[in-house]
Amino acid sequence: MMRWLAFLLLLLAGPIAAQEAPPVAKPATVRVALATELGSVVLELEKERAPVTTANFLRYVAARRFDGIAFYRAVTVAPGFGLVQAGLRDPAKWYKPIPHEPTTQTGLTHADGTISMARAAPGTATADWFIMIGASPGMDASAADPGFAAFGRVVEGMEIVRKIQQAPTDPTQGEGVMKGQMIAKPVKILTARVVE
């Protein structure tokens, strides 16, 4: 009888609240607003997960070296898939190349809207970067390929990024794989500023 009464009281009391795990803190980020000729694009950079690459980008922002640069390259692999590239094309204004932070180390991926560093070989990235349009897991690091260093994502203005990708390109400009990918009238970045 006592067991039955205890069981009945347990049923009436309702479900026992499961102990919730403490919330996992979101890795620290910083936002940068790019004011372009076509509108604003806001980036959220992974200063905790990709500290070297983010610090490099922020160094150029703080020195205002990204003011007046342009998105100069647009790649369309398929509808809704490709990238746009921007950067400081004057080597005299570059800082020293940074160590490569592969996605296997940072845990980031080349998803739609990801910002990543352009480079020749790993460890050569300076002041050129690109934004993904559509996911490209082939740009992530693997055992056979160091991949590219993703370090953040677009959180506002992805429609502007897609508009830049649709800008006309010059079929004769560019070298090697970049031939025909140079935007005929590059889209200027008027200012790049850290925002709260």
Cβ-proximal residues to 195 (8 Å cutoff; 6+ apart), any chain? 31, 32, 33, 42
The string of pLDDT tens digits covering residues 156-185 is 999 999 999 999 999 999 888 899 999 999
The string of pLDDT tens digits covering residues 3-61 is 544 444 444 555 544 567 777 888 999 999 999 999 999 999 999 999 999 999 999 99
